[in-house]
Structure 1
Amino acid sequence: MKVTSEIGPLQKVMLYKPGKELEYLFPMYLEEMLFDEIPWLKRAQEEHDGFSDTLKKAGVEIYYVDELMSEILDRNNLKKQFITEHLNLSDIANPDTREAVFDYLMNKTTTETVKTLIKGLRKDYVEQLKKESSFSDLTKESFPFYLSPLPSMYFTRDHGIKAQDDIILSSMFNMSRKRETLFLKYLVEYHPLFASSKPLAEDLSWPHGLEGGDVLVLKEDTLIVGYSERTTEQAIEWLAHNLLVQEEIFKEILVVEIPKKRAYMHLDTVFTMLDYDKFLLYPGIKDAIHCYRLRKNSHGSVDSNKEESLSSMLEKSLDRPVKIIYSGEQTPITAAREQWGDSTNTLAIKPGKVICYNRNERTNEILNKEGIEVLEIEGSELVRGRGGPRCMSFPIMREPI
């Protein structure tokens, strides 16, 4: 059950099909919930089914987060503990309100509890609290939820990093996504599917962001980490100390610093691996990135060195020439428009074979000309959440290459 590269044949993957939480998005709170637009749920679900069908046809075994969670909460009597941890990461300040919400969730079936924790809990759904108002309710009167929806839940990549046999749990940069990682935390600790995996994490309420979309597994002993809007330098230092020095799982970490903008929130929104020697990069940032190599030294600490360029850094680690392919040709308007549509967020299912949104026509044409086989999927609604095929998938197992 290992992941030792970005491109090894994909065997097992974890997904989450978007649900009612998308219908709880509304204009007043879009920015807080990290959305720019409101997806149409019915079409988004159809598109997600198309994504999963493409994976199945490629021989990939699919697991769904919510189904796995229901299995362990029933099997291990963990429901009380799981609800409590969600409430600890919520905005509920009043103890009576917290108790009423806890009772409401405990009285639901396990499946309904899992669904409610993802879709959010509206204030008008808790009968016991309809006629009561705490001070906290009055100060947050316009916000209609006791538990906020998790509309980004379908971006399972962000919840953690599967690297070799271990799973690094993310510490989400934005408070609105902190609760998402709890699902992966419990699965790693209690589901037999992850029995061989060891979880590595700081406290999930840790203020320094570390998100899965910023981490690529270049090869068995090397990670690439994005220093971005969502993953901080403190998190990268922690990662280097744990993976290079303490656990000695990897020999080096390659850091790619990208502009800290929402449009490039994670490294995988501008850069992905396609084949043994081919990478896709959004050309709009090629002159704005900085690269660093982190390795353990003889004194048991981490040495950091600045690298000349992205391509030379990759070539040194892979010990072969590499080709950087630019998305959207190099036409600024086309490249920027398609990057906004996640043209660079490709999911490799084997070396030289990737899944992409069909909307990014120019980038897909370029990939085909470069010998990359592109499996296109619909994504006009899914992309409204600002993520593509890589964002929507959490690889559990890839064949070694």
Structure 2
Amino acid sequence: MTSESGPFGANSEVGRLRTVILHRPGDELRRLTPRNNDQLLFDGLPWVDRAQEEHDRFAEVLGERGVEVLLLADLLTETLRHSGAARVQGIAAAVDPRRLGHTLADELSVHLRSLPADELAGILMAGLTFDELSFGGSNDSLVRRMHHGPDFVIEPLPNLLFTRDSSFWIGDRVAITSLALPARVRETSLTDLIYAFHPRFLGARRAYESHTAPVEGGDVLLLAPGVVAVGVGERTTPAGAEALARSLFDDDLAHTVLAVPIAQERASMHLDTVCTMVDRDAVVMYPNIQNTLSAFTIHREDKGVSIKGANGFIEAAADAMGIDKLRVIDTGLDAVTAEREQWDDGNNTLALAPGVVIAYERNVETNARLEASGIEVLRISGSELGSGRGGPRCMSCPVLRDPL
């Protein structure tokens, strides 16, 4: 899996991880307040300094296992420094004349174009308040006169922490997703800039790009080469799953897609909050859904597609993967412990290789059951990182894995 500028791609969840994109928590998290944290999809106000320490350790563990870590903020800054077109597109995506009015929008765009790349990248990620407008501007902007100082001129993007959702790699192509909720929509504009203009990714080919039907990367599991599971629930719609399947078939990136209905609620916002791959033939799964999770099997055919089901997910996955049985490691028989650890992302593990995963240390029972099943668990702290409801898989976008 190579391009003009280097290798990237993945055909599974568990092939040895070589390169990954993370986003170190930054000033965008300092924008969270009791008034806006729900709107910005956080369940609490993280202690940012501690979240940064936890994330730094996450990156260190990856590095200790030979994984190259690329930080999104660095990639974005380098992109904006390298490309004038990237600057124009990034500013256009952030400055909304419908909300700001044309007068203020034009003045703000001119101001942003004058900034150094690192300052511009910071604003595109962390947002900007009316108090922070450093240019005088004209006096005929009603928007500027009527807004309060702490109001946002550009909204912050605290969920950038979860780099899995705005893009994912399948085969040697990258899929740019469409995020469902308003607080996250602009994240893909930054991801798109990086893949389009950063020297590291010049020549990278695109897979699926959707501007209508939502698909989020946390709902997409590469079960095996050619086999993809897509959660359909709060974030990814049936139309998005179908469009993704047809796109993958057209590009010969998959032969089977499993559309997996999941509960449309906060606790199970993505498929990877209840199920992730931990080995070639094994998943860790929330036990409350083990016997009820189902899947529609979408197959590529010579003259289109066929859709079968819904059937049990575990059986449908094994059949699509060409194995006798999919091993299921659950999060414990005690219903209360299982529910607590699912909420704390016990099922959201990041595989570094077959049978080796990173997991939050707080999920003691889940980690013990993984180890009893022969899985090596590398534990990290997530007391502050978890306030946005996301674990190690959510916080990582694999750019390169060894093929299975």
CA shift for structure 1 position 92: 3.0
Check whether the contact 2:292–2:312 (CA below 8 A) recurs between aligned residues: no
Q: Does 1:258 align with 2:291?
A: no
CA shift for structure 1 position 386: 0.5
Deviations 1:118-142 (A, max 9, x none): 0110111114469958454577658
CA shift for structure 1 position 186: 1.4
CA shift for structure 1 position 50: 0.4
Match of residue 277 from structure 2:
273
Opposite residue 278 of structure 1, the aligned amino acid is A
Q: Distance in 2 between matches of 1:332 and 1:396?
A: 36
Query: Aligned to 1:296, which of 297, 300, 312?
Result: 300
What pairs up with 1:346-361 in 2 under 5 angstroms? 346-361=349-364
Aligned Cα root-mean-square deviation (Å): 2.0
Match of residue 191 from structure 1:
198
Query: Aligned to 1:162, which of 163, 169, 174?
Result: 169
Give me the TM-score of the superposition, normalised by structure 2: 0.93
Q: Does 1:219 align with 2:224?
A: yes
Relative to structure 1, the CA distance from residue 388 to residue 90 in structure 2 (aligned partners, 3 Å threshold; closer, same or farther) is farther
Match of residue 237 from structure 2:
232
Match of residue 124 from structure 1:
131
Q: Distance in 1 between matches of 2:104 and 2:208?
A: 30
Q: Distance in 1 between matches of 2:305 and 2:136?
A: 53
Check whether the contact 1:253–1:295 (CA below 8 A) recurs between aligned residues: yes
Worse overlay, 69-78 or 255-264: 69-78
What pairs up with 1:1-400 in 2 under 5 angstroms? 1-87=8-94, 92-128=99-135, 134-136=141-143, 141=148, 144-202=151-209, 204=211, 206=212, 208-244=213-249, 246-299=250-303, 301-320=304-323, 321-327=325-331, 329-400=332-403
Q: How many residues align?
A: 396
User: What are structure 1's unaligned runs of at least 5 residues?
Assistant: none
Check whether the contact 1:292–1:304 (CA below 8 A) recurs between aligned residues: yes
Q: Distance in 1 between matches of 2:361 and 2:116?
A: 39
SS of equivalent to 1:254: strand
Opposite residue 164 of structure 2, the aligned amino acid is R
**Percent of residue pairs identical:** 35
Worse overlay, 105-114 or 149-158: 105-114
Worse overlay, 81-90 or 289-298: 81-90
Q: Distance in 1 between matches of 2:114 and 2:375?
A: 51
Segments of 4+ in structure 1 off by > 6 A?
none
CA shift for structure 1 position 242: 1.2
Opposite residue 309 of structure 1, the aligned amino acid is G
User: What are structure 2's unaligned runs of at least 5 residues?
Assistant: 1-7
SS of equivalent to 1:168: strand
SS of equivalent to 2:398: strand
Give me the TM-score of the superposition, normalised by structure 1: 0.94
Check whether the contact 1:343–1:356 (CA below 8 A) recurs between aligned residues: yes
Check whether the contact 2:93–2:186 (CA below 8 A) recurs between aligned residues: yes
Check whether the contact 1:89–1:178 (CA below 8 A) recurs between aligned residues: no
CA shift for structure 1 position 219: 1.8
Worse overlay, 330-339 or 381-390: 330-339
CA shift for structure 1 position 99: 1.5
Opposite residue 82 of structure 1, the aligned amino acid is Q
SS of equivalent to 1:216: strand
